[in-house]
Amino acid sequence: MAANSDSIVQHSPQPVAPFDPGDVVTTDRLEAYMDEGKPMLNNYARHAKIGGGQHGEVYLCYKINTRVPPGDPDRRVPVAMKSVKRDNARAKQMKRLRQQRLPTTEHTPLADKLGTTEAKIRKEIAIMKKCRHPHVVRLFEIIDDRMKEKIYMVMEYLAGGEVKWRNEHDQPILSVEQTRRIIRDAILGLEYLHHQGIIHRDIKPANLLWTEDRRQVKIADFGVSHFSYAQRLAAAGDGAIIEDPEDPILLDDSDLTRRAGTPSFLAPEVVYEHTNEPLASSLSDVPTARSSGIPSIATSQSLTTPSKRPPITKAIDIWALGVTLYCLLFGRTPFVADPAAAGSEWSLYNSICNHGWAVDNVMGADHIPTGGRRPVGDSEGAVVIRLLDHLLQKDVKNRITLEKLKCNKWFLRDLSDPKKWLQLTLPKGKIDVTYGEEQEAMSTVHFRWHWGVVSRRISSLFRRSREANQEGQDARGPVRSDPNVRIRRHRSAALADRRRPDTSDLNIYGSKNDKGKHHAESDPSSEPSSSSGTRPKSIERWPVSSIGGSIAHRGPSPTPKGYHGSPSILIDDRTRPSNTTSAAGSSSASGNVSPQSSPTTTDKPRARFAMFLNTISQWRPNKFSSPQSGSSPSDSAGPSSSTDVTQRTRTISIKAHARTNRPTRRSEEALRYYQRTSTTPRVGSGPLTADRRASSWGQGDQPMEFAEVLSECSSNELNDREMIVGSGGVCNDRSFAPRTPSRLSNVATASPASEPDSGDDDEVEQRFGPSCFDEDSSTIASAFDGGGGWQDGRDLDEDEDDDDGHHHDGDNVNGDLMFEDDDEEEDDSGDPDDDAVTFSPRKRPPPTHD
């Protein structure tokens, strides 16, 4: 089907013709059986495993079209089928374990909710269903049988496999021209995604898949992608996309604050809390430059970091694209962890936030001169390095937009008609947003907004009543019969009675004992009417702000980063239970509550409600609290203060470091990669011969790795018009003609794509099952927000793996067990999986779905 799909693109009279093999089919029944010795799942025959990652396994399957006679090539259409387990007993058990060990923050329950495997795949499906573009992998069918343990996604098969970009010596294997085409395709795909309101969040070479003929790449893997309803609405409007990164509607996407993606490719704003941490000074010479001896150059421009946590927007994809471009050109990632810091993620993030990047003297497999880090002139090298500068801007405000990126002359230089290309590739069309989609994609976010929304609504009720009352007063004095006035007067009178003696004290929210003082202050009788229109920012952003707040205590600065300074935030701080030495408490001790920072008098009713609601939401009994936390009783009853969280995270962090012989984890496999020097041999990635390199570009006959084995699909010639779209536009050289497709036998005998690392990874394998980690590192989907809960990237990653469950459940590297339940062997929870898919040995005719 990949070939068919491609042919739709390639032979369409419109170069950007809708890539539409039909609507995504949802099948709610799953039948697994054997047919002539081959496992069948409905009408799909399974062949071999072509990939596996954090979220599932991917198999090459053939859709059997029973209407076509046997022998006809159209009878079997190759597809990629990704299977993802729903939550299982083991995952739940691991989650429980994790919750016992980690500090409890207000994010924890949400993160756990978001982190369920089923939630992830549902979101991925919702997102993929929307995508129809030549440079985005297409979803064909969902097999979602509620009685079965796994959900299956049937996708377009990209026979070229993922983009490989370096050899075992960390040298680039792609030419600069190939690189340009790859990035150009990715830009088109990304542009479309962003137009749809989708932030991919995991752009990296491994998620760019080649078509069979290596003429196009498509964006794959939406496992951690984010659907931004706001962004989508913006795109769906009359073409006016909101560009203001401070736009509150984008901030509503609180799910984005979770750290997800691949560590090396994370944008600085995602790991913002690492900016200017003490380690930065000790790592001024990060070994980013290779043999060229060029030192790491920290330019004032690229190192400009914003003073507060920037919103996380689609710009994170642009950063990741910049990292990808760098990888393809230089065979390594631009930011690496300091080997002295044991290559921790923490060190890597520190590097991303605070360090510059260096370049070699030459780029690409064809060794095009770069002209150094600050090139002058208009050489190809100079253009590319300047482009990288635009992409790898740490401050999101300075980062180039896709619209501008697309017009960069490097991408246009080999197109016969750049203007036309730009015109044809413009994403267009009004986008319909249905309620169902929104629910599917955004339901988790709604959960997070709950208290904030309620408090805001109640607050606005108060505001309205206050305004109405004010009008009434202005017009005719107080009206006692107005219910709002009565309530207000009643409350204020009661509070004033209780608090009257302390009204002069400004230190009103600092400690538990002082807690009620503000009530007296908020006596509406003292409210000046002039400020009735003031409306602080909504307090539902508390979770987002708290991230910055809690993390800020890690660093030297006592001021929480991401602290908006709005009255609402202060209210939140105060409404934190003032257990032990909370941040709020310390601020009170210093008496630093400035009058202008306190709620305006007109907002006090609103503030009281906000406080009340937040107190309820934060003081609710938390089943995830750790009994051994050693905290005071008030600690266990309520949420931790920032200081407490930090303290505990530090303790855990120290413990983690102290464990010398602890088993390694997948994320550390990724980290070991960051530490690798260019001389470190990469186990499992055989020598890259000229033939293999040629094969990666469609030449030569030597079979590549399994994922790159060609299928039976026949390749199609591109016509001139289609050649200008995406990467197809520059392949004029006949010598680059696609090689003859190999036969199926290649597929059957090929080795699996996912080879576990050997050597010191034995322990990892023993504990977690065979690794699926690939050389350009694995995706993380942190169960914790990019804030309070994260320490040094160690424990949480382990837990993250745990959270996903399926990783440990016997990743079937041999590619034999796609449709079978593999929990039985390794599930130590003891829970039998009675919903496992088993194959009936009886031959059954495949059901027809055509």
Ligand X SMILES: Nc1ncnc2c1ncn2[C@@H]1O[C@H](COP(=O)(O)OP(=O)(O)OP(=O)(O)O)[C@@H](O)[C@H]1O
Binding of residue 142 to ligand X (CB under 6 A):
no
Residues 6+ apart with CB under 8 A from 609: 455, 458, 459, 462
Query: Contacting ligand X (CB under 6 A), which of 1, 19, 42, 56?
Result: 56
Cβ contact 665:801 at 8 Å = yes
CB of 117 to ligand X, least distance (A): 11
Residues 6+ apart with CB under 8 A from 424: 14, 15, 16, 724, 725
Q: What whole-number distance in Å separates Cα of residue 787 and Cα of residue 24?
A: 37
Binding of residue 158 to ligand X (CB under 6 A):
yes
Phi/psi at 152 (nearest 5 deg)? -115, 135
Cβ contact 611:599 at 8 Å = no
Query: Contacting ligand X (CB under 6 A), which of 208, 209, 569, 730?
Result: 209
Cβ contact 565:598 at 8 Å = no
Q: What whole-number distance in Å separates Cα of residue 657 and Cα of residue 663?
A: 12
Closest CA to 314 of 384, 225, 415, 409: 225
CB of 153 to ligand X, least distance (A): 9
Q: What whole-number distance in Å separates Cα of residue 767 and Cα of residue 777?
A: 19
CB of 321 to ligand X, least distance (A): 16
Q: Which is nearer to ligand X, 55 or 85 (CB)?
A: 55
Sign of CA dihedral 506, 510, 514, 517: positive
Q: What whole-number distance in Å separates Cα of residue 92 and Cα of residue 823?
A: 13
Do the strands 258-261 and 780-785 form a parallel or antiparallel pair, or are they unpaired? antiparallel
Q: Which is nearer to ligand X, 157 or 462 (CB)?
A: 157
Binding of residue 55 to ligand X (CB under 6 A):
yes
Q: What whole-number distance in Å separates Cα of residue 27 and Cα of residue 141?
A: 7
Q: What whole-number distance in Å separates Cα of residue 573 and Cα of residue 627?
A: 25
Cβ contact 837:148 at 8 Å = yes
Binding of residue 223 to ligand X (CB under 6 A):
yes
Binding of residue 206 to ligand X (CB under 6 A):
yes
Pick the catalytic residue: 145, 202, 221, 644? 202
Query: Contacting ligand X (CB under 6 A), which of 152, 157, 165, 349?
Result: 157
Q: Which stretch binds ligand X (CB under 6 A): 128-136, 216-224, 565-573, 592-600?
A: 216-224
Binding of residue 156 to ligand X (CB under 6 A):
yes
Q: Which stretch binds ligand X (CB under 6 A): 44-52, 632-640, 643-651, 698-706?
A: 44-52
Q: Which stretch binds ligand X (CB under 6 A): 35-43, 50-58, 320-328, 447-455?
A: 50-58
Structure tokens given for 588: 């009170």
Q: Which is nearer to ligand X, 228 or 779 (CB)?
A: 779
Residues 690-709, interacting with ligand X (CB under 6 A)? 707
Residues 6+ apart with CB under 8 A from 19: 5, 8, 9, 132, 133, 134, 136, 138
Q: What whole-number distance in Å separates Cα of residue 676 and Cα of residue 671?
A: 9
Could you give the string, one character per residue 605-644, with x where binding to ligand X holds by CB under 6 A and - elsewhere?
Answer: ----------------------------------------
Residues 6+ apart with CB under 8 A from 72: none
Q: Which stretch binds ligand X (CB under 6 A): 205-213, 269-277, 365-373, 803-811?
A: 205-213
Q: Which is nearer to ligand X, 202 or 269 (CB)?
A: 202
Spell out the SS3 assignment of 608-625. Answer: HHHHHHHHHHHHCCCCCC
CB of 216 to ligand X, least distance (A): 13
Query: Contacting ligand X (CB under 6 A), which of 137, 613, 709, 710?
Result: 137
Q: Which is nearer to ligand X, 50 or 652 (CB)?
A: 50
CB of 206 to ligand X, least distance (A): 5
Query: Contacting ligand X (CB under 6 A), which of 39, 115, 161, 741?
Result: 161
How large is the angle between the packed helices 435-476 and 604-619, nearest 10 degrees? 140
Q: Which is nearer to ligand X, 642 or 667 (CB)?
A: 667
Q: Which is nearer to ligand X, 335 or 706 (CB)?
A: 706
Active site residue 202: yes
CB of 772 to ligand X, least distance (A): 7
Residues 751-810, interacting with ligand X (CB under 6 A)? 753, 778-779
CB of 59 to ligand X, least distance (A): 9
Q: b or e along 259-286 (b: 16 or more beta carbons within 10 Å of the residue's beta carbon)? A: bbbbbbbbbbbbbbbbbbbebbeebeeb
Q: Which is nearer to ligand X, 328 or 496 (CB)?
A: 328
Residues 6+ apart with CB under 8 A from 508: 514, 517, 518, 521, 574, 593, 598
- Say if residue 82 carries a ligand binding annotation: yes
Q: Which stretch binds ligand X (CB under 6 A): 62-70, 202-210, 268-276, 588-596?
A: 202-210
Q: Which stretch binds ligand X (CB under 6 A): 54-62, 235-243, 409-417, 789-797?
A: 54-62
Q: What whole-number distance in Å separates Cα of residue 794 and Cα of residue 247?
A: 34
Binding of residue 465 to ligand X (CB under 6 A):
no
Binding residues for ATP: 82
Catalytic positions? 202
Give residues in contact with ligand X (CB under 6 A).
50-56, 58, 80, 82, 137, 155-158, 161-162, 206-207, 209, 220-221, 223, 707, 753, 778-779
